[in-house]
Amino acid sequence: MILSGHQRFDYAQKALKLHCASYVLKPIDKTQLCDEIRHALELKQNQSHQESAASISSIAPAKAAQDQLAEDEDFIFRVRTYIYSNLSDPDLNRSSIAEYLHMSPDYLSYVFHQKFNQTLSAYITSMRIDKAKELLERTNWGMDIIAEKTGFSSSSYFHKQFKKISSQLFSPEVLGK
């Protein structure tokens, strides 16, 4: 705000170029001066709020992306850890995982599919078959025991899934035992 005794237009123009809130001419009474000061303060506060909002909005997307990446990594770690730790449980499914993660089963399935590009049940089955192959190499267990240890509810379903995923039959001759 500029308070001046000069009525020259070029002075007022310079004040505008300097982003002054107002160009006030003397003489001026106290109430008008107080009103002008109040108006200038309001303009300055609004400008500060806009600058703060612009600063925050430029930082927010980067921070949100960082937070989302951290959340994604945490989500992936928690899902994989829970699945691997509970592979032998025949009740391992999207409901039990969703309960552990405190989210709805439908939302879990959606997010999982977005991150892994496969269904949760297909991932669990694949992990179980990988574990079964590992047990086949390390032990002399039969199909019933391996099916039980990898969370399959029946050995016939295990055999069917094993053949489907690994393209092999579950037999010692085929597997080199």
In the chain, how many domains are there?
A: 2
Contacts of 11 (CB under 8 A, 6+ apart): 2, 4, 23
Would residue 104 count as lying in a domain? no
Structural domain of 16: 1-60
Say whether 177 sits in a helix, a strand or coil.
coil
Q: Of 39, 60, 81, which marks where a domain is finished?
A: 60
Query: Look-up: residue for tokens 């949100």?
Result: 64
Q: Of 15, 39, 60, which marks where a domain is finished?
A: 60
Would residue 3 count as lying in a domain? yes
pTM for this one? 0.57
Q: Is 136 left (phi over 0), alpha (psi -120 to 50) or beta?
A: alpha
Would residue 23 count as lying in a domain? yes
Would residue 114 count as lying in a domain? no
| pLDDT digits 0-9 by tens, 59-104 | 555 556 555 555 778 888 888 999 999 999 999 999 999 999 888 9
| pLDDT digits 0-9 by tens, 107-162 | 889 888 988 899 999 999 999 999 998 998 889 998 899 999 999 988 888 888 88
Dist CA 28 CA 1 (whole Å): 14
Of all helices (H) and strands (E), which one includes residue 2? strand 2-4
Would residue 37 count as lying in a domain? yes
87: nearest Cα among 145, 126, 140, 115:
126
